[in-house]
Amino acid sequence: MKIKTKSKKVNKAWLHDHLTDPYVKLAQKEGYRARAAYKLKEIDETLGLLKPGQLVVDLGAAPGAWSQYVRQRFAPKEAGSGGAAVGALNGQIIALDLLDFEPIEGVQFIQGDFREEAVLAQLEAAVQGRAVDVVISDMAPNLSGIPSSDSARIAHLVELAVEFATRHLHQNGAIVCKVFHGSGYSQLVQLFKQHFRVVKPIKPKASRDKSSETFLVGLGLKQSGKS
């Protein structure tokens, strides 16, 4: 019974935080599917990553807030603002996730597990040999609550995203990856430093203070990428 009571308290506290969260309210107002859009927005505005005409690959895309933000960046002003942008699209967005993804106009979606070779092959086929300008990854595994196991799962997804980026990024391209502070974090920073000329950890304001998540950004491949 104590476990149930504690669980109810946690759920109630989370619900209160969620409903009073200014970014949740802003996302609802501006038509984004999740508050996560503002994490990418701050990273983009800080580093100037996204520009019309680019090819962007969105890993762990569901429910679609990051793809919505990229789509809005690629749309002319008259196409609408926020997550509601429609119509003309100057650029290409390929989104991938294991979960269902409600269609977004102009966004190509691949459903499947990024860890599977067949799904990766679909993604590579969609890229069609073109150099990718930006890889964005909000991927996170289902957590077990066992720190050593969870950190290994998180690291594996980040490693796969970095591997894809090193094979497909433009030589001056960028990658944004969600990671978590804790066991294995320093190794992931080193992985980024091994492959990218500039590495920046960013904790956006929209990322809750109590969350251990942060984002690693890699800018420019050390080894020559695609031109």
Q: What is the pLDDT of residues 56-70, one digit of tens each?
A: 999 999 999 999 999
H helix intervals, the chain: 2-20, 22-30, 37-47, 65-73, 117-127, 147-168, 185-195
21 is a domain residue:
no
Binding-site residues from annotation for S-adenosyl-L-methionine? 64, 66, 97, 113, 138
4 is a domain residue:
no
Within 13 Å of residue 29, how many CA atoms lie on the same side as its CB?
7
Q: Which of the four pLDDT bands, split at 50, 70 and 90, describes residue 78?
A: low
| Amino acid identity for residue 200 in this structure | K
Binding-site residues from annotation? 64, 66, 97, 113, 138
Q: Residue 13 pLDDT > 80, yes or no?
A: no
| Rounded average pLDDT over 111-120 | 96
The span from the CA of 126 to the CA of 123, in Å, is 5
Q: What is the pLDDT of residue 144?
A: 72
| Rounded average pLDDT over 113-141 | 95
73 is a domain residue:
yes
Beta carbons within 8 Å of 11's beta carbon, 6+ residues apart: none
| Rounded average pLDDT over 116-129 | 96
Residue 210's Cβ-count burial label (10 Å; 0-12, 13-18, 19+) is exposed
Domain count for the chain: 1
227 is a domain residue:
no
| Amino acid identity for residue 57 in this structure | V
Q: Residue 3 pLDDT > 50, yes or no?
A: no
188 is a domain residue:
yes
140 is a domain residue:
yes
49: domain range?
A: 31-221
Query: What is the average pLDDT value for the chain, to the nearest integer?
Result: 88
Q: Which of the four pLDDT bands, split at 50, 70 and 90, describes residue 87?
A: confident
Residue 129's nearest CA partner among 226, 211, 56 is 226
At CA 207, angle to CA 144 and CA 76, rounded to 5? 120
The CATH number of the domain holding residue 89 is: 3.40.50.150
Residue 111's nearest CA partner among 124, 96, 126, 125 is 96
Which residue would you say has higher pLDDT here, 146 or 225? 146
78 is a domain residue:
yes
Q: Which of the four pLDDT bands, split at 50, 70 and 90, describes residue 225?
A: low
Output DSSP code: residue 60.
Answer: T
The span from the CA of 43 to the CA of 205, in Å, is 10
Condensed to tens digits (0 to 9), the pLDDT of residues 179-209 reads 998 888 999 999 999 999 999 999 999 998 8
29 is catalytic: no
- Does this model's pTM top 0.95? no
Q: What is the pLDDT of residue 211?
A: 85
Q: What is the DSSP string of 87-145?
A: S--SSEEEEEESS-----TTEEEEES-TTSHHHHHHHHHHHTTPPEEEEEE---PPP-S
| Rg over CA atoms, the chain | 18
Catalytic residue of the set 6, 178, 203, 205 = 178
20 is a domain residue:
no
